[in-house]
A and B are shown apart, each in its own frame.
Chain A
């Protein structure tokens, strides 16, 4: 089946929707209906990995901390905490709260959940989120024991966490679903099945699941046991679980939905004109990864030349409809510097500009004047219309600006991932999203031995700066070191940044009080429906 034909068909549906316009239904009911992607893979916080799942879980659970509208970390399940002077011990004091089945939420539930996450038998993908805890990695690799893991409930309301080394971003980690508590009694009584049945899906958050129709909808209602229930205005949330965002958009435009996540790119221009599109920060980056172990990309001059010859502004405008921002550094927007309260990227500013003359000069210095003598280059991307459009634009720019010819190759998603992982590429499209709200979630990516650094970039200067940031709790020192590292990465052009992701979505004007942090996980707790 041709994707293009499907897109065409969907466009036809969209056009129809546009012509028909939308009639208003004036209801004050506190119900919000959302499209946030397909069927959850699981609603077990210790196992969930996808963006949709993280969103469903955020409504059902509460971590120790959460993110506010400004991108700052604020108390949630924990009321306050103390950090030891060496930064190796955190003591959290929990607020009194109840599970949706009425059981009290205790520090023991957190301890249990974290140890369950790390238990090798759970086989959790996100186990590594807690690897900075004492004994955590050893336990997960089957070498240590659960008792040696640095998390302990001192009493019902006090949780003590100890670390191998300072983890200044730990409070940001505590917003992530993998750190949510689970109800020990319920999980132990039901085993892994607890997260599959509505009756045992017990949470400590503002909403609880009442109905789950696979590939249909997930219904939640206000959790009356929740500690802060007076602040919760929504009576009911309905998530529709479908594959096609175009279908969701039709439903939105027929007033069947209040929120649509990432509507089709082909619709973006029209939605902008009709004032239906909203944007918010997201810490993600789209870039081309150089295989720095193979000629010609082992030469930083070649990498730099190629980067300077790409007009990223033009791509953002013509291909991305100004939804995403042109990237001019490695670390994207969305991280707040806790000292200055400013966005880390805005603080750092643009670290490189398009400069064709300079690119030509660098290329000549590298021994390829006007692209002469350049070995054949292929650019690998996973099969997708948007990636193709960007790759073609870049191909054209390199040809025109610096005389470099590139062949485009596309592969199906998992084949492409396998190629990248095995280093079987020269130049590959790539994307990265931070797991937590700290620039370190990008910083450690480019470490010489970084687990995701498939281009095998390495620079001891860069490693040293990141190490400095990793080994201190002094935020001023950390932030400075990461800014410096960012500059080194761009000086070397470790990767070729193309654009910074922005979250794009449709939201009904009736919805007030939605918090949309750059983690891409909606906070629906304070939402009010108002005409």
Chain B
């Protein structure tokens, strides 16, 4: 277990290094820089700016400087938002995105898994058909359409909830639901198919033949195994949702981190592009690792370290 974890951590460091390096050189390869504007600046002015932000250093030097600073967990200053550091931007945006994301993940798990179980148990009955219809819709309808519909109904028609901004629990409801729509549906469908798979297994039939109560079969035998694909999905999904959604944050005017993934590229705000990419990659890698460590708790057949028993 320990050596496995260490190996994974080492692995993760290499992955992160790859991500940083590739992002660094790719982003410098795109035409235009952070200070390319419609107005052409006099050469002296441009030189002063490049000097200040060390943009006239050779690329390899900018890269090594960046890596050294990163070693001190310093992600550098933003080029666009003068006087603000990338650490500061992440520290301010992430808690908001995290709150919103947690709401959505909890919603998705609490609604999605039971819906999937019910669907599997009532296969081809009306309950199953209804849930499958709704979840097909949920997977197919993009979050911003759902968001627009929610704003229309709950904010504008019924005036129950605010249409935008972020300053209290009331402001969290609509964006959380809008963001949860897709993962909820996906989790429900995933749970259903894997439950159906598990329910057809011999050991379930054996349990049934032995007269074990239905809920015990469901809870103790079927669900645990049935949830493995769901847990696999939740790991990376959580990383994506927790770091914020550009569309939802834009539509609801939420001051989260999600916007920076997109706007930093438009702005060629190099340090912000790298900062949020590193942060996101770190979360994905960490959560995937966490998921892998959880597997053996769910299914004793899975052993860490590679050896599998039949």
Contact = CB atoms under 8 A, between A and B. Distances in A.
A and B interact: yes
A450 B52 CA distance: 26
Given A247-B252, A414-B31, A137 B263 contact: no
A125 B296 CA distance: 58
A20 B42 contact: no
A25 to B, nearest CB: 12
A121 B45 contact: no
A122 B82 CA distance: 11
A10 B253 CA distance: 13
B37 A417 contact: yes
Nearest to A195: B83
Nearest to B263: A243
B51 interface: yes
Contacts of A19: 156-157
A47 B165 CA distance: 28
A127 interface: yes
A7 B80 CA distance: 26
A419 interface: yes
Interface string B254-292: 010001000100101000000000000000000000000
Given A243-B263, A244-B253, A121 B166 contact: no
B144 to A, nearest CB: 5
Contact of B255 (A6, A16, A142, A213): A213
Interface in A1-43: 1, 5-6, 9-10, 12-13, 15-17, 19-20, 39, 41-42
Nearest to A217: B165
Nearest to A142: B44
Chain A's interface: helix, strand, loop or mixed, by majority?
A: helix
B99 to A, nearest CB: 14
B148 interface: yes
Nearest to A120: B48
Contact of B36 (A9, A250, A417): A417
A341 interface: no
A356 B89 CA distance: 55
A41 B144 contact: no
A41 B82 contact: yes
B253 A421 contact: no
A42 B36 contact: no
A364 interface: no
B142 A414 contact: no
Contact of B259 (A17, A141, A215, A454): A215
A329 interface: no
Interface residues of B, number: 56
Given A214-B92, A215-B259, A16 B156 contact: yes
Contacts of A41: 80-82
B51 to A, nearest CB: 7
Nearest to B158: A20
A413 interface: yes
Contacts of A421: 36, 40
B40 A451 contact: yes
Contacts of A214: 84, 89, 92, 255
Contacts, number: 162
A123 interface: yes
A12 B251 contact: no
A5 B252 contact: no
Nearest to A6: B144
Contacts of B32: 413-415, 417-418
Given A12-B148, A125-B45, A254-B163, A415 B31 contact: yes
Contact of B268 (A196, A251, A414, A451): A414
Nearest to A430: B38
Given A137-B44, A413-B266, A20 B156 contact: yes
Contacts of B259: 215, 243
B298 to A, nearest CB: 35
A244 B251 contact: yes
B196 interface: no
Interface in B117-166: 142, 144-145, 147-149, 151-152, 155-157, 159, 163-166
B30 interface: yes
A38 to B, nearest CB: 8
B45 to A, nearest CB: 5
Interface string B40-63: 111011011101110000000000
A415 B152 CA distance: 37
A128 B263 contact: no
Interface of B: 30-33, 35-42, 44-45, 47-49, 51-53, 80-84, 89, 92-93, 142, 144-145, 147-149, 151-152, 155-157, 159, 163-167, 246-247, 250-253, 255, 259, 263, 266, 268
17 contacts: A10-B251, A13-B151, A13-B251, A123-B45, A123-B48, A123-B52, A196-B83, A216-B255, A243-B253, A244-B250, A247-B250, A256-B163, A414-B36, A415-B32, A417-B32, A417-B37, A454-B40
Given A120-B44, A125-B45, A215-B259, 10 more contacts: A1-B246, A9-B148, A9-B251, A42-B81, A128-B42, A140-B48, A240-B165, A243-B253, A250-B163, A414-B33
